[in-house]
């Protein structure tokens, strides 16, 4: 299940780019030829982010072309 490794990498990218800001959602673009099972990736995301700086952050999916797999957007929470 390579989705576990992908989830770990996505979490690391999100944490690295947060710079202390709180994240609302991370969106990844996945193409139909990327060989990534979205359900498995979402499951692994919940596992690897548990008790981390990105715990509770939503993982969203965007449509992409071909074998694309990329962290496309990181949405931060607004300061109150």
pLDDT in tens, 33-43: 999 999 999 99
Only one residue has tokens 């991370």, namely: 26
pLDDT in tens, 20-63: 999 999 999 999 999 999 999 999 999 999 999 999 999 999 99
Q: How far is CA 9 from CA 1, 13, 20, 47, 79, in A?
A: 14, 6, 18, 13, 26
pLDDT at position 80 over 80: no
Q: How far apart are CA 42 and CA 5, in angstroms?
A: 12
pLDDT in tens, 62-71: 999 999 999 9
How is the chain split into domains, by residue range?
A: 3-76
pLDDT at position 79 over 90: no
Regarding the domain delimited by 3-76, which CATH topology (the fold level of the hierarchy) does it fall under? hypothetical protein PF0899 fold (3.30.2320)
Give the per-residue pLDDT at 1. Answer: 67
């Amino acid at each position: 299940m390579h989705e576990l490794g992908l989830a770990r990498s996505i979490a690391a990218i999100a944490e690295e780019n947060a710079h202390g800001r709180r994240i609302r959602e991370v969106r990844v673009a996945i193409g139909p030829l990327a060989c990534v099972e979205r359900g498995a990736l979402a499951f692994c995301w919940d596992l690897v982010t548990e008790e981390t700086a990105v715990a509770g952050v939503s993982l969203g999916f965007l449509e992409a072309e071909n074998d694309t797999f990329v962290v496309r957007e990181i949405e931060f929470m607004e300061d109150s």
